[in-house]
Amino acid sequence: MSEITLYGIKNCDNVKKSRKWLDKNSVEYAYHDFRLDGIEKSLIEEFLKNIEVRLLINKRSTSWKKLPDKEKTIRTKSELVGLLLKNPTIIKRPIIKSKNIYFIGYDEEKFKLLK
């Protein structure tokens, strides 16, 4: 099993670019597609423990913009976990986990640390 996991959805441009970069640079990784492989409460809790909420939620995404204002008003961690379980496409992509380090978004400079 790879020490690196890339999380995202296959039709996301930043996920495509990230996978292409990792493949081109011979970085071995496991791929977890939120739509195909699903997302568990424990994974969301892991993300929340290690990634700031402002970095984790993509407020520029179409999925976020389509949410009713009532759902965007998150008061508790439990509400946030529920929102992300129900709407995994509002999670900023990709998330790359290497050991206990998390990279959010496409960033070749950070990716070089994976080699």
What is the Cα–Cα distance from 56 to 94, expressed in whole angstroms? 10
Q: Average pLDDT over the chain, rounded to whole?
A: 93
Average pLDDT over residues 99-114: 92
Whole-prediction pTM: 0.92
User: What pLDDT is attached to residue 75?
Assistant: 86
Token pair 């290690």: residue: 50
pLDDT-derived band at 21, boundaries 50, 70, 90: very high
* Residue 2 predicted with pLDDT over 80: no
Residues catalogued as catalytic: 12
**What digits encode the pLDDT tens for the residues 54-89?**
999 999 999 999 999 999 988 889 999 999 999 999
User: Residue 74: helix, strand or coil by DSSP?
Assistant: coil
Token pair 């081109």: residue: 24
In CATH terms, the fold of domain 4-114 is: Glutaredoxin (3.40.30)
